Every structure is written in C-alpha cells, then in structure tokens.
Amino acid sequence: MRCVLLLLLSCLLLGASEPPPTSDIDRWVSFFNPDLYALAGRWPATPIVGAFDAPASDIARDTARATWLSLAVFLPFLVLPQVLLVWIIWKFRDRGDGRRAATFVGNHTLEIVWTAIPIIALVIVSVAIWDLVVKTELPPADQRRDMVVEVRGKSFAWDYKYQRLGGERPTRREDQIEIGQDVAGLQEPLVLVKGRRVILNLTSNDVLHAWWVPAFGVKKDTIKGRYTHTWFTPERTGFFKGQCAELCGQGHGIMLISALVVEEPEFALWVELQRRRAETVRTWTALAAREVDPAALDAAVAAYLERGADPWRLFALRYWMASNLLSWSRRPNEFPRDPDGTQATWIAARRALLEEAIARWQARGGPSTGS
Ligand SMILES: [Cu+2]
C-alpha cells in the first residue's frame, strides 16, 4: 500500500501517468548522456554544429539571420571592387601604341557616392539587427519562469549549479542541482528544457574561459571574481556540443561543453534522478571496488532502499549504477579489467551483482526486516 501511494505521489510530482521506465535503463542513460555511448574509445564523437545551419535557440536563429543578411549586404563591397579591378586592368592594358594613362585628382560626385552607399548599407544592417542587439545586451524584464544556472569554468571543465529550475513550480532547496564531472571525471551535459528561457550566470575558478555552444548562438567569457550573463530560449530538442572559446591552457582543446535540450516530462525525470543521486554513492563505492564485497554491497543497497523502495528509487539506483559503470569503463588506463573479460562483460557482471543484491534485499522482506 505504501509503495502504491509513493508511486502515485511520484507520478503526480512528475506529471506522468505511467510507472518509471525501470526496464529501459540503458535507453535513459544514453538519452541523458549520449557522449557515454558515442564512442568506444576515449573521446566524445558528437560534433560541434549548428551555428548557421541548424540554430537551436531564439538568439541563434536571429544571429544566423543577421549574419546571412550582413553577408548579403556587404558581399558586393568585397566582390565589386575585385571585378572592377580585373576589368580595368584588362581594358586599359598597355596595347603598345604609345598612349599615356590619364590622371585625375578629386571627384566630389564620386566621393559622395562611395561614402553614401556604405552608410546606407550600414543603416540597413543596423536597423535589421537592432532588436537582436537589445535582446542580447539587456536582461529579460520578467525572469520569474526562467531557469537560472550558474556556470563555473575551471581548468579544464565546467561546473553547473541550477539556482532555479524555472517553469511553473517553485524551486525547492533540494532542487538546486549541482552537476559537473561524473565518477570517471567526464564532463556532464547541461540539461535544458525546450521553450524555457535559461539565464546563465558565468564565472571562473581560475583563468579566463568562454562558454560557447554555437547552436545556441551565445559565447560568453567567464572571469574569476565577477559574473557575466547571457540568456537564450532553446527551441529544439537535441544534443548540442560546444567548447571553451578562450585559450586557457594546456587542456583548452579538450574543455568541451555538451548541452541536452529535452521536453518537460523528461526534464522532470532527470530532476528526480539527480535528487536521488547523492544517496547512491555508497552503493557505487561498493560496486566499483576491484573485488566486490557482497556484504558491503548488500549493506549499501539496504541502506539506500530502507529510506524508500518505491519504483522511482529503484529506477534511480539502477540508472546511476548503469551510468557510472559505463563512464568508469571508458577509463582505459585505470579500468579494472577482468583477466579474460571485456568492458561490456565487466559492466554486465557488475550490473548482475547489483541485481542480486537488490533481489537479496527484497527476499529478506524489504524495510520491515532491514532493521
Ligand atoms: Cu579554454
């Protein structure tokens, strides 16, 4: 009865009508962090795209449009003089008939024309991009429903703190999620909601960095000791890559950024997973040991489940162990290989150990026999 009530409560909280996707752990791990599946080797394989070909935010869309307009207006200024130059060189070439080149000094009409035309071009572009300039320089007036994230650059990774999740629900203290690098030190993606404006407050722990995701159309320096700000509204779901855009040291080239834009129900699921994450650390410590001690694993699983064994908590435990194992297995130098095993079999074996520990806990009768 208690489990059913907890499940109903979870469903209400999540706005979902279905039980948690317990049987589909791998799909959700890959959904929330595609980089973990991107490559069998060390480096994430998803490319950085989207500045002009597939903008994914309001700012990026407007920036792409402004860039194409500028190009269309200013390209003739690049092309026309070159065409004229080639034509004049050919037309007035030395024909060997002794004619001398004519010289001119000053032509007011010509000077007025070649001053006026660029001014008109600049005015056309300025008028067209005025709204975008204002939008990117002035903070949004009404931020009550916005997501607010603190972005912290450090050599050579990014930490994120969700100061506000945004949307209709007020953000509770436990919802102030902090993410950054996972158990294996791999950069975690920033997770955003389609259609929900996000305000980034950026700073740095050390040197200058710059948070740049081309598909969102924003690039902002992070500076130690002060905050810079930028904002945009993601308009497409998907996985978008970027990277540090301020030369910051030896690891600058691998200071990658990934951002995942999801719909509201998936974001609610992600929040629920994050809220339970810290509680899974003990189980992970037991499961990641070179030699798993079944007693220690049983104790860790019991400690976690005794605080609540509803399907969402079980889902969160399985999710984080699957995610951690996958990430951990991508450390080729430190990966604890079985003598004759592969990473996949190692992952499967560890997940089987977890399932056995859960089964033993359930066989013991759950919370009532745990104490
Ligand atoms: Cu850098």
Residue 225's pLDDT is what? Answer: 95
- What is the Å distance from ligand 1's center to 251 Cα? 7
Query: Both tokens of residue 187?
Result: 């950069």
Residues of the chain above pLDDT 70, percent: 87
What does the pLDDT look like over 167-208, one tens digit per residue?
Answer: 887 788 777 899 999 998 889 999 999 999 999 999 999 999
The DSSP letter of residue 247 is: -
| Total H helices, total E strands in the chain | 11, 10
CATH 3.40.50.300 fits 147-263, yes or no: no
Q: Which residues of the chain are in CATH 2.60.40.420 domains? A: 147-263
Compare 69 and 104 and report the one with higher pLDDT: 69
Residue 36's pLDDT is what? Answer: 79
- What is the Å distance from ligand 1's center to 46 Cα? 19
User: What pTM does this model have?
Assistant: 0.82
Which of the residue ranges 8-12, 53-57, 164-168, 172-176 would you say has the lowest mean pLDDT?
Answer: 8-12
pLDDT at 14 over 70: no
- What is the Å distance from ligand 1's center to 207 Cα? 9
Compare 8 and 330 and report the one with higher pLDDT: 330
What does the pLDDT look like over 67-80, one tens digit per residue?
Answer: 999 999 999 999 99
**Highest mean pLDDT pick, 182-186, 341-345, 362-366:** 182-186
- What is the Å distance from ligand 1's center to 256 Cα? 9
Give the chain's mean pLDDT: 86
- What is the Å distance from ligand 1's center to 152 Cα? 12
What's the CA gap between 326 and 347, in Å, rounded? 7
What's the CA gap between 101 and 80, in Å, rounded? 23
Which of the residue ranges 20-24, 60-64, 327-331 would you say has the lowest mean pLDDT?
Answer: 20-24
- What is the Å distance from ligand 1's center to 245 Cα? 6
Tokens 């990966």 sit at which residue? Answer: 335
- What is the Å distance from ligand 1's center to 255 Cα? 6
pLDDT at 213 over 80: yes
Residues 6+ apart with CB under 8 A from 79: none
Query: Both tokens of residue 346?
Result: 């190692």
Q: Which of 328, 242, 238, 311 is nearest to 276 (CA)?
A: 311
Q: Does a cis peptide bond (omega within 30 degrees of 0) precede residue 335?
A: no
What's the CA gap between 220 and 258, in Å, rounded? 15
